[in-house]
């Protein structure tokens, strides 16, 4: 009789175990997120007080994009901008000119984007990276550095 009781007890405990395995987990640390989902595809670093660099990675772990902007988690006033030379210095620190490859070209981009009219900027293309500075008149809002690696721009297929 005890064998039947133990068998029923085991069968009834199986749904409890299955439910426990499906229970939510705490996503309050980078470690728990990495354990559950693997390495991040993006990270943000404070590269100097008030300045953040958000990096996105390709499948190999190499950087595909860096966005340099005011650190929105700090007590930075909305609409904070950089002097062009300050932003250029940060870009040179992150991706020295010697690592960009041969210059290909560049230019200006100017469009009206409502409500803040914040779509103007300049760009420069090199063999390995493209750099876009959003802003103008020595009031740059952010910079985007994009690598030209194949893994950084996967082809869209139907």
How does the average pLDDT of the chain come out, rounded? 81
Strand, coil or helix: what is 111?
A: coil
pLDDT at 109 over 80: no
Residue 90 pLDDT > 80: yes
| Rounded Cα–Cα distance for residues 156 and 133 (Å) | 26
Specify whether the CB–CB gap between 142 and 123 falls below 8 A: no
3/101 Cα distance (integer angstroms): 74
pTM of the complete model: 0.74
Quickly state the pLDDT bin for 20 (edges 50, 70, 90). Answer: very low
Contact criterion met (CB below 8 Å) for 89 and 95: no
Cα–Cα distance, 76 to 78 (Å, whole number): 6
Answer whether 129's CB lies under 8 Å from 147's CB: yes
Task: Identify the three-state secondary structure at position 17.
Answer: helix
The pLDDT tens digits for 31-84 are 888 888 888 889 999 999 989 999 999 988 899 999 999 987 766 667 788 999
Distance CA 16, CA 47 (A): 47
Determine the average pLDDT of the residues in 138-158: 81
Torsion region of 148: left, alpha or beta (phi above 0 gives left; psi -120 to 50 gives alpha): alpha
CA distance 140 to 83: 6
Residue 145: what pLDDT? 97
Mean pLDDT, range 111-116, rounded to an integer = 68
Cβ contacts of residue 18 below 8 Å, gap of 6+? none
């Amino acid at each position: 009789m005890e064998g039947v009781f133990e068998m029923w007890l085991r069968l009834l405990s199986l749904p409890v175990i299955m439910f426990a395995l499906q229970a939510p987990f705490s996503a309050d640390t980078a470690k728990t997120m990495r354990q559950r989902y693997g390495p991040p595809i993006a990270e943000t670093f404070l590269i100097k007080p008030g300045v953040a660099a958000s990096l996105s990675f390709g499948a190999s772990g190499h950087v595909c994009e860096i966005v340099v902007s005011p650190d929105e988690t700090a007590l930075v006033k909305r609409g904070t901008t950089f002097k062009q030379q300050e932003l250029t210095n940060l870009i040179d620190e992150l991706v020295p000119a010697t690592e960009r490859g041969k210059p290909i070209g560049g230019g200006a981009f100017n469009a009206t984007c409502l409500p803040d009219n914040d779509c103007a900027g300049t760009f420069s293309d090199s063999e390995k990276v493209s750099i876009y500075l959003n802003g103008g008149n020595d009031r740059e809002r952010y910079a985007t550095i994009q690598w030209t690696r194949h893994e950084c721009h996967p082809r869209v297929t139907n």
